[in-house]
Amino acid sequence: MSELTLRYGCNPHQAQARAYVENGDLPFTVLNGAPGYINLMDALNSWQLVRELRQVFNLPSAASFKHVSPAGAAVSTPLSDALKKAYFVDDMDLSPLAVAYARARGADRLSSFGDWAALSDPCDASTALILRREVSDGIIAPGYEPEALDILKKKKGGNYVVLQIDPAYEPGETETREIFGITLEQTRNTLVISPDMLQNVVTQNTHLSEEAKRDLLLATITLKYTQSKSIALALDGQAVGLGAGQQNRLACTDLACRKTETWYLRQHPRVLDLQFKKGKKRPEKINAIELYLKGDMTPEEQKIWEDTFEFVPDPFTDQDRRDWLDSLDQIALSSDAFIPFRDNIDRAARSGVKYVIQTAGSIQDNNVIAAADEYGMTMVFSGVRLFHH
């Protein structure tokens, strides 16, 4: 048996915690810090996600995880100047791997605060430099360049958790977990997400660009490692909005769409031109931007807002938001199970969704297809459910 004593379980009062395998060695090595129970849950889920993205797209891939769901996931595709500024990396020389992490981290910056980072490729100095200035709990990668490891070991006063995973490791076919003294066992989800899943187009519009295919597959792979129920929206090689862990699918769709809209609004020229007072830290800037986009503020929020900016900007009105969001387009949506009613499609259409992949099998399938046809969407039935708990 090989085992690792953990700091504690899900909560500090759950003092006894460990990770172990009955046979052989643990497939990861702790290079720095002391991981906890949730750290390992995030690390092992996020590693599977970026590994699969790398296998499918043959591009450096990254994920930003929080509480066993991704806040963002991406492959390395070129960043526009607007995105570089929105992601706070316009002052950096980025490697392809660093671009992937900047995308994953930048999708939902509020949720990525204190994240677990996962990289498909050995961590280089460029990626480590992004992590050095972000609030993050740890990282998992198949290797580390010496300079990158030196940078990461100095983070969080020397306590930043750094894990190195064996990229050749493959677990057994079955997995078990214990709940309330009862052991559950199932076959591990080894389903391969591939372009073959995009064959069954059911709408009048059958067009799928190569970019749309990439984004549908990326969103679907992301859902495979997201707490269900879940909806993922993707564009330009990255997840831009995730609605995870909800009890109804419309809530998932609305959450994913609202996150996508915020991601897009952060690229508005007025947001990119905001001038911050000297000494303001990145989390303060991020929170102030969120308040600016929110509009209606409490007196306390108004004070935070005004104290953050060098020059108080004009209010961001509802019409300003709508005018900008009307240009949001070509979004791909994936659902981890069937879409039960057309209200999900109506909501998605307001956030620029043009491509949909879903399981199918609802008694309302025809109505959902008709809704997609009304909006000129392309919808694919995958026939595959991807619940993850």
Express each pLDDT in 244-254 by its tens digit.
Answer: 999 999 999 99
SS3 19: strand
Express each pLDDT in 201-245 by its tens digit.
Answer: 999 999 999 999 999 999 999 999 999 999 999 999 999 999 999
Q: What confidence category does residue 85 fall into, taking pLDDT thresholds of 50, 70 and 90?
A: very high
Architecture of domain 2-165: 3-Layer(aba) Sandwich (3.40)
Per-residue pLDDT at 298: 80
Per-residue pLDDT at 288: 87
Q: Which burial class, exposed, middle or buried, applies to 91 when counting CB atoms under 10 A from its CB (0-12, 13-18, 19+)?
A: exposed
**Mean pLDDT across 154-168:** 97
For residue 312, pLDDT over 80 is answered with no
* DSSP sequence for 174-236: EEEEEETTEEEEEE-------GGGG--B-SS-----HHHHHHHHHHHHHHHTSPSSEEEEEET
249 in the Ramachandran plot: left (φ > 0), alpha (ψ -120 to 50) or beta? alpha
Per-residue pLDDT at 318: 86
Judge if 2-165 and 188-265+327-381 fold alike in CATH terms.
yes
CA distances from 369 to 10, 68, 142, 203 (A): 42, 32, 42, 6
**Mean pLDDT across 101-118:** 97
Domain map (residue ranges) of the chain: 2-165, 188-265+327-381, 270-324
Superfamily name and number for 188-265+327-381: AICAR transformylase, duplication domain (3.40.140.20)
For residue 302, pLDDT over 90 is answered with no
For residue 84, pLDDT over 90 is answered with yes
Which of 304-338 are b and which e, b meaning 16 or more Cβ less than 10 Å from the residue's Cβ? ebeebbeeeeeebeeebbeebbeebeebbbbbbbb
CA distance 308 to 297: 14
